[in-house]
Each structure stands twice: as C-alpha cells, then as structure tokens.
Structure 1
Amino acid sequence: MGELPGVLRALASTDVDTSQEALEELYGLLLDLGSTVTPATVQAVPWIARLCAAGLRTSALLFFLGRVAASEEEQDIPPGAARVSVAAQLPVLLPLLRHEEAEVRQLAVWAVAQCRSPENSWEALAARWEVEEESSVRRDLLFGCVLLDALSSRRLVSTALSVGERDEVRLAGLVVVPDTGLPWTAELTAATVSLLPASDRIGQTPWITDPFPDLVERLVQRGRPGEAMDVVTAALRAEGEDRADARKEGVWGAGKLGEHLPEVRLRLLPLLLALVDDPGTAAERLMNAWRKEDGAVERGLVHLASGEDDVLADRALSVLIAADAPEATALLARHLPNRPRALAATVVSEAGGRIRYVRPLACDPALLEAIRARLVAGGVGAEEAGHLLGLLESWGPQARSAIPELLAVLPRFPRRVPEVLAGVAAGVDEYREAVVDALEAAVGRPEGGEAAAAALRRLT
C-alpha cells in the first residue's frame, strides 16, 4: 500500500481537483468495493482523523470515517477492529461537534455515533442537541443519539415530535420512535402522513434515504406489524390531487411491508388497486412483482376480478390482462360491458392514443361472442370500439364470425372498420360479396373513403 502516503499528502493539497482525486483514491485503497475494511484501513485512520482536525477536507473525511466505523465487512482484521480504530480517535473527533460550519457538525455526529461507544460520546451528542439550532444537525443528532442509547434518547425524541420542530427533525423523530420503545399512536400515524412525501422533506443526510419505507421496516423489526400496516394504509389513502407524492411513498412503504410480511399482501391489494391510475405511484408494478413471486397474490387478484364490486374487479382484471394471466380471457368475456379499464388494457397505446399493439389474448369463443354483442350495442363510443376492433383485427380470420357486426358498424366507425374487415375477411369466402359491396359503397364517402379503398385493394 505504498501509494497511501502520497494520497494522504494529496488530500492536503490546496488544489481542489488534486484533493478530490485523492479522496476518490482513498476509497479505492481503504474501502474495497465501498464497504470492506482491511489492515491498511485501520493503519490509516489516525492520519485521516488528524487531517479532519486540521481542517483539510473535514466534512468528506468525517463521512469516510463514519463509513469505516459502520462497516461490517472485514478482511484480514479481527472483528470490530476498524470501528475500534475510529473510536480511538474520539478525543480528536468530539471537538468537531462544536465546529462553526453546520456541515462539519453534522458529519461529526455521523462519525462519532458510528463508533458505537455510548460511554464516551452519548452525553456529548445529547449536550449538543440542547444548544444546536441548525435543523440538519438536530435531525442527525437524533439518529446518532438513538443509535448509541435508545432508552436514554426518549426525551430527545419526544421533544423532536413537537409541532414546533422543523419538518426534518420531526421526521427523524418519527423514524426512530420504534427503536426507542415509545408507543406508536394514531396521532403519530397522522403526523407521519401529514409530512409525506418524506423523502423531499428529510434533507440530505448519511443516515437515511427514504424515511417512510425505513419507518415501516423499523416498526416491523420491532414487533409492531399492526402499526406498520396502519401507517401504510393511511399513506395509501391520502386524499387529494396534491397528495399524489404521499401515495407514491405509501406504495414504497407497502412494498417494504410486503417484503417482510408476505401475508399482508392480500390485504393491501384493494388499496393498491385503487391507485393503478394514480400518476407515478407504481402500484401496478408492485402488484406484478408480488404476483410473479407469490401465487397467493395472483389468486387474490383473480378473486377480486371475479367479485361484485365492478370498479375493483375492473382494476384487478386490468392488472391480470397486462400480466398476460391465463384466467383473464374468461373473466373479460364474462363481464365485458362492465370492464372498460380491463378492455383498454388489452392494447398498449402511445401517448396520443394510437394503438401500438394488441396483447396476445387467445381467440376464445366466449370472448369473441361477447365482443360481437358489445360492438353493436348502443352507447359504445369510438374509444371502446377501437379496443374491440383491435382484438378482432389481431385475431384475423379466426374472428370471421364477427363480420356481420363489422358490417353493421361500418357507417359508425368508417375510418377504423375497413382495415379490420380486410384482415378478418382475408381468405374467407363466406360474406366476401357482402364485404366487397359494403367497402365499394364506402369508397365514395368523404369520411373513411380512403380506408375503404385500401381495404378493397387488400381483399381484391
């Protein structure tokens, strides 16, 4: 590791590019693959701590030391040796809790707490909490104090939950409540949902990226699955167009809950189905992921798609159709007039509504009969007809029995029906004369005349 002294010297360079390059090399030399610590890591820690104390790349190196202390991937060193090496530098690191720059104080909290030495540092962090005014530092002090001594930190957490605290501090308090053993209440659930989307409010911190899923996971890990279910349910039910991001994080929380407790997935399905049209929530993607790994979820979707609640059943069936589930065809045939969303799911469209392709549903006799009846029913608009016609066209001559219905609706949908007729009637002697006559008559009409002419050319 002969290059390490040169890297440490480069860290002290006044040239920004040189010191930044040295910092990147430091990770490569001392944190293999971003997390593995080695004997060289242990040997370098005292030098890095002194660079921090000297004000050289202090924030970045404090973060680095915290990563070293937090690492549990050790190579050729005794268990915990890297953490011990950082903890030995606490006399150098603790004074940085009082540094004039908030970012330095924030990352000093990170490095100090990761040493897991409460007898040497908890009181210093708690004392800093009492006087700290910068919200980003107060937030991270909560994480650090609870990591070191959760029971002794209850008073700090209770203070953080007060309405007068800033959002990121309150969020941190909510996330660590499960670790402290404090009771989780309906008021805390309401407070959590009111602060969603939490990922936007928590700010930049090395402690956490997505607060809401993390909170759900902590509740589950601390034996509070009911409370985890309550807070996820409340987030998924957040009302209002302006709460779409809150519901999105609710789906993230549902994913985390379902990951740890697969048995709750069936209970979450109706809530997730209510969000399949909600922009950006990815509820359908989550259900599909569950469906692929858990047969109970697919059976649950089939059960809901067969139910009497038409709205819920329509949404469940649309998910099954998009996933090419084999049960979907029969369910669509049985309830076609009352499954508009499921019917729309049979095609994949571009943003402008133009059909890109039709999903490969089999030409099932029952579905074909249902489409024939629906196509000539009153009240069928152009969009619904387009989906029905798309299925017929995808089946081609297999759908020849629908030619009478296609001829009947040709005047209503003159631009779309001709090309479908040409595909369905290709090579079919029965109805051929009637099809040709109908298309010839349509050629001279101002609307759909070109489509009829193109269809005639295909047929003749």
Structure 2
Amino acid sequence: MTFDHALFHADLDAQPWASYTHAYGSAEDVPGHLRALAGHDDAAADEAQSELYGSILHQGSVYEASAKAVPFLARTAAAGIRTAEVLLLLGGIAEGGADPRPTCGAEPREETGPSEGRAGESDEVACRRAVVAELPLLIASLTDESPSVRQAAAWAAGWTGAAGAALAVPALRDRLEAEPEPDVRAELLTALVELDPEGSGPLAAGAIGPDHPPQLRTAALLACADAGLPWTRDHHAAAVDLLPLEPHVSGRYDETRNEPVHHLALTLLERDTEADRDAVGALLDAALRHDDPEARAEAAWAATTACELSRGMPARLAPALIAAAEQDGDETGALAVLGRLGPAGAPAADLLATRADGDGDPADRALEALVAVAPE
C-alpha cells in the first residue's frame, strides 16, 4: 500500500489534539509522535513508540486520545511501516478497553464514524470500539509473509472482546488450520479461547498431545485451564512432560501467561474445588521433584501463591519443597518458600538450621524461614 505522508499529516492536523487527554493531560504531543512513528528516522520512531506507550497506553490504561490515535496507527501498520510493533500497540489499546454494553438491537453504524465514539461512552469502550473498527486490517495481517506480523495480529485480535468476536473468531480459526509456525499457532489458539472459550475449548483439548510442537501444547494446556475444562490425567501428564514450561512461551506476545506453571496453579485454584486443588498439588509436587532446576524454580514460585490461596497446600507441598531445597539450596527459591509453610514446614527445621549457620543472604533467608516454621 502506498503511504501518502502529506495526507497523513494533514489528517493528523485536522484533529483537535490539544482538546483530547492522555495519561499526562493534553494530547497535543500525540500527532508529533504519530508522525515520527510513520517516518523514516528509525531512532525517532523508536522514541515515538516509547512515548505513545507512556501516554496513550500508560501501564495498560487507555484514554480519550488513545481511541483517536487508533485509525492513524492502523494506517501506519497497513502501509507496512513497523507493522508488528504497531499491531501490538493497537492490541494493547484493545486490551485496555472494554466492550460496549449489550443492546436490544443493532446500533446504527452511520450515527458516528468508527473511531468517533458515542455520547456518554467511556474511554475504555471507545478504545475497544476503535480497534474493532480496524479488525479488517488485523485479519488481513494474519496472512502476512512475516511470522512476527501474523503473531502480532493474532494477539491483537484476541483482545477485541465480544465486540470483535463475530468477525475475528472465524478468521482466527481459518488461519490456525493453515499456520505453520509454532509460536503463531500458539498465539492463534490463545486468542480463540480468549474470544470464544466454549467454542474453542475442544480445539485446545485436542492440541495437548505429543504430536504437536511444545509451544502449541503449552498454549493448549493454559487455554484448557482458562476455558474452564476439567483438568485430567492427560493434562497433568502433558504438563509434566513439557517441564520446564517457560521456554515454550518465551517467543510469545502473550505476557499474561508468561509464567505458565504459576498461571495454571492460580487459574485452577480459583475454581475452588477439591479436584482442582489436588491437581495443583500433584503438578507442583512433580515439578519440584523434576530433574531440571528450571522446572523446580518455576514450581517454587507457583508454590508460594498456592500456599497463600489454599489452606491445605503447605502440608501437601512440604516434602517436595524440602527435597528441592536440599538439592538446590537457595538457587531455585525453594528455601524461601519453606518459610511460608507455617507449622507444616517444621520438618525442614534441621535443614534450615544447617543453612542458616553461615554468612550471606542465603543464610539470612534460611534463618528467616527457620524462625517462621520453628521459632523454638
């Protein structure tokens, strides 16, 4: 697509940016950043991108100016200018947005332009609506020759919510069938479950087996948990087989699930059923006893949260945590977790006393844990 910089600049100038607001007040600086982002100076474009993340998507929050910037960001991405990076910014704006309230009938599209918003509408709804209006661009980018662009488009489409699901879900399904790249397939599956958990749950359940790449299997396990599917022996076996899980999500844009074992433990425990508590206990026990120290480190961090959320988890995990601490010392974090076990950690007293009899931070942490589990 030919990008007409002069027209782009004229359209930017036609907007009353100074009357819009972002995280730091007036959005009068936004058109300059959008110009630089679409310009030829890479250093200036990098700086502009950083500034836009700080102002129109500040720590995940969106503003009036965020929605107004969406059409200009979409034009930039459609022109092949920093496409993956701009798609991620659009997806972040959609993620920070919110779906419009359901109505009894279809809203007349011609009342306002796609990014003009509606009277009384929150900034969050206006932002989600603005990105949904650009879904044709996101869908077209799903077939881009660049895997990073396809992946960014899948991630962004997954945050368009109920407002975008009718258009996005069929396109994401079609692309999943054709997509060869494991990280992109994982992003597509995650987006589908985000938009349509009931309809896409079976897709996730069918992708946990060893005939699929580990990136997709890991995404499928997380998607099964997110979709509310029962956690079965097959899920447990697949998770243990894939440990450590974090390397399988390292190439993803999905930062909400970048600590997979922790995400699984938290998601299953939030269901608040005995079966799910047992599932978390079994998974963390297996991971804490795993041969790979990375797997034990992932499990130690997840065990911290599990012990905070489940009254029975400290006693359930104490033997495996003690075994991990004996093997790793302070390297995987298991030693520190022992201090969170309360009375259930008392069997670790001798180990902790031995480790506390020394100098340095590890000894201090062992002493702190010892005081917590066996103050006598």
* Among 308, 313, 332, the residue aligned to 1:281: 332
Counterpart in the other structure of 2:84: 59
CA offsets 1:179-209 (integer angstroms, 9 cap, x no match) = 3343322232122112111111223212121
In structure 2, what residue type is equivalent to 1:109? A
CA offsets 1:279-327 (integer angstroms, 9 cap, x no match) = 2221111222x2xxxxxx433334x3xxxxxxxxxx33343xxxxxxxx
Report which of the two structures shows the higher radius of gyration computed on alpha carbons.
1
Identity, % of aligned pairs? 33
**Equivalences for residues 429-448 of structure 1 within 5 A:** none
In structure 1, what residue type is equivalent to 2:85? A
Q: Are residues 1:229 and 2:299 paired?
A: no
Change (3 A) 1:93 1:345: closer
Q: Are residues 1:271 and 2:296 paired?
A: no
Q: How far does residue 102 in structure 1 lie from its aligned partner after superposition?
A: 0.3
Q: Distance in 2 between matches of 1:86 and 1:23?
A: 18
In structure 2, what residue type is equivalent to 1:190? A
* Among 114, 120, 142, the residue aligned to 1:97: 142
Residues matched between the structures, number? 311
Q: How far does residue 349 in structure 1 lie from its aligned partner after superposition?
A: 4.1
By relative contact order (CA 8 Å, sep 6+), the higher-ranking structure is: 2
Q: Distance in 2 between matches of 1:55 and 1:198?
A: 34
Counterpart in the other structure of 1:48: 73
Q: Distance in 2 between matches of 1:87 and 1:262?
A: 43
- Tell me how large the CA RMSD over aligned residues is: 2.6
Counterpart in the other structure of 2:24: none
Counterpart in the other structure of 2:181: 134
CA offsets 1:358-416 (integer angstroms, 9 cap, x no match) = x899xxxxx9xxxxxxxxxxxxxxxxxxxxxxxxxxxxxxxxxxxxxxxxxxxxxxxxx
Counterpart in the other structure of 1:11: 37
Q: Are residues 1:31 and 2:52 paired?
A: no
Secondary structure in 1 aligned to 2:142?
helix
Q: Which ranges in structure 2 are unaligned for 5 or more consecutive residues? A: 1-26, 99-120, 371-375
Secondary structure in 1 aligned to 2:81?
coil
In structure 2, what residue type is equivalent to 1:82? C
**C-alpha contact 1:168 1:203 (8 A) present in aligned 2:** no
In structure 1, what residue type is equivalent to 2:266? E
Q: Are residues 1:298 and 2:312 paired?
A: no
Q: How far does residue 78 in structure 1 lie from its aligned partner after superposition?
A: 4.6
**Equivalences for residues 120-199 of structure 1 within 5 A:** 120-199=167-246
Q: Distance in 2 between matches of 1:71 and 1:350?
A: 43
Q: Are residues 1:84 and 2:136 paired?
A: no
Q: How far does residue 52 in structure 1 lie from its aligned partner after superposition?
A: 0.9
Q: TM-score, normalised by structure 2?
A: 0.76
Q: How far does residue 139 in structure 1 lie from its aligned partner after superposition?
A: 0.6
Q: How far does residue 79 in structure 1 lie from its aligned partner after superposition?
A: 4.6
Change (3 A) 1:230 1:345: closer
Change (3 A) 1:298 1:217: closer
Q: Distance in 2 between matches of 1:4 and 1:298?
A: 52
Secondary structure in 1 aligned to 2:39?
coil
Counterpart in the other structure of 1:391: none
Q: Distance in 2 between matches of 1:347 and 1:202?
A: 39
**C-alpha contact 1:70 1:114 (8 A) present in aligned 2:** yes
Q: Distance in 2 between matches of 1:345 and 1:259?
A: 24
CA offsets 1:194-239 (integer angstroms, 9 cap, x no match) = 211111122321212111111111222234222222211221232x
